[in-house]
């Protein structure tokens, strides 16, 4: 069945509002999310890393180096130490110094505003690029991470096997004015309700629209 996307996102926003933490966006302090450089670097640090470790590492790093011009000249060993709680911290330290150098030398110290230019930076893929563009520049992109990919497929908004295809299909079914909301709403929902292993159907405000839930109910009815 065709999904009432606007209603689904409205209900997720309603439950999110009830639990909203002031001053955060994508789980990050709002000052980082609003600064394209800090948003970009934090998102690279967050890859395969828990939020708490990302926040701790980002806070320490930006306390010392808060611009590309400063970070490009930072000693590698010191940056490794500052970001140590994150996974793959050595590779990420090298990458963020190199990103800072490229931003400074090729982009006038600014974070570029296109997926293609961002995608060309070390450890920056499409997901990181669309997150930065939507959160820091308020541009119309759908940032598809593991939560958005999983939940969109469970509900039946899309039928895909990769995040890139999910992004393309979501752009067809989600009204454009809601693209930027998708990531924040689904990430929080995915952490608290529609979790990877045991989704909490019993407290889910959108289960009547969810293919996975409806299929499970149908299966139980047949058993
Ligand atoms: S009904 Fe279950 S699987 Fe479907 S969106 Fe809700 S929590 Fe996720």
Per-residue model confidence (pLDDT) at position 16: 77
Locus of tokens 């996102």: 9
Per-residue model confidence (pLDDT) at position 19: 54
Q: Report pLDDT digits (tens) over 144-200.
A: 999 999 999 999 999 999 999 999 999 999 999 999 999 999 999 999 999 999 999
Q: pTM, whole model, 2 decimals?
A: 0.87
Is the minimum distance from the CB of 8 to ligand 1 under 6 angstroms?
Answer: no
Whether pLDDT at 26 is above 70: no
Distance CA 182, CA 151 (A): 11
> What is the Å distance from ligand 1's center to 177 Cα?
24
CATH architecture of 35-135: Orthogonal Bundle (1.10)
The residue among 122, 125, 55 whose CA lies nearest residue 92 is 122
Q: Which atom of ligand 1 is nearest to the CA of 213?
A: 1
Is the minimum distance from the CB of 207 to ligand 1 under 6 angstroms?
Answer: yes
Residue whose CA is closest, atom 8 of ligand 1? 194
* 5-22+141-222 and 35-135 have identical folds: no
Is the minimum distance from the CB of 185 to ligand 1 under 6 angstroms?
Answer: no
Q: Report pLDDT digits (tens) over 201-218.
A: 999 999 999 999 999 998
Is the minimum distance from the CB of 193 to ligand 1 under 6 angstroms?
Answer: yes
Mean pLDDT taken over the chain: 92
In this predicted structure, which of 48-52, 81-85, 140-144, 193-197 has the lowest mean pLDDT?
48-52
Per-residue model confidence (pLDDT) at position 23: 41
- For the chain, the domains span 5-22+141-222, 35-135
pLDDT band at residue 34 under the 50/70/90 scheme: confident
Residue 24 host element (H or E): strand 24-25
Which of the following CATH numbers is that of domain 5-22+141-222: 1.20.120.1760, 1.20.81.30, 1.10.1670.10, 3.40.640.10? 1.10.1670.10
Is the minimum distance from the CB of 155 to ligand 1 under 6 angstroms?
Answer: yes
The residue among 210, 207, 122, 127 whose CA lies nearest residue 165 is 127
> What is the Å distance from ligand 1's center to 189 Cα?
9
Locus of tokens 């302090």: 29
């Amino acid at each position: 069945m065709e999904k009432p996307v606007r209603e689904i996102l409205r209900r997720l926003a309603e439950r999110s509002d009830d639990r909203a933490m002031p001053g955060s966006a994508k789980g990050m302090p709002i000052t980082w999310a609003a600064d394209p450089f800090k948003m970009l670097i934090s998102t690279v640090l967050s890859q395969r890393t828990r939020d708490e470790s990302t926040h701790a590492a980002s806070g320490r790093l930006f306390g010392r180096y808060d611009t590309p011009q400063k970070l490009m000249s930072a000693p590698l060993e010191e940056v490794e130490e500052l970001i140590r709680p994150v996974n793959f911290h050595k590779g990420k330290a090298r990458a963020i110094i190199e990103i800072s150098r490229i931003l400074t030398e090729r982009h006038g110290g600014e974070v570029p505003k296109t997926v293609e230019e961002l995608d060309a930076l070390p450890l920056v893929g499409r997901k990181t690029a669309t997150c930065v563009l939507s959160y820091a520049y308020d541009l119309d992109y759908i940032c598809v991470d593991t939560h958005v990919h999983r939940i969109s497929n469970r509900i039946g908004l899309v039928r895909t096997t990769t995040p890139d295809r999910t992004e393309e299909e979501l752009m067809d079914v989600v009204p454009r004015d809601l693209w930027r909301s998708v990531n924040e709403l689904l990430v929080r929902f995915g952490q608290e309700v529609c979790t990877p292993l045991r989704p909490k159907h019993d407290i889910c405000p959108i289960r009547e629209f969810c293919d996975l839930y409806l299929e499970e109910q149908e299966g139980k009815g047949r058993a």
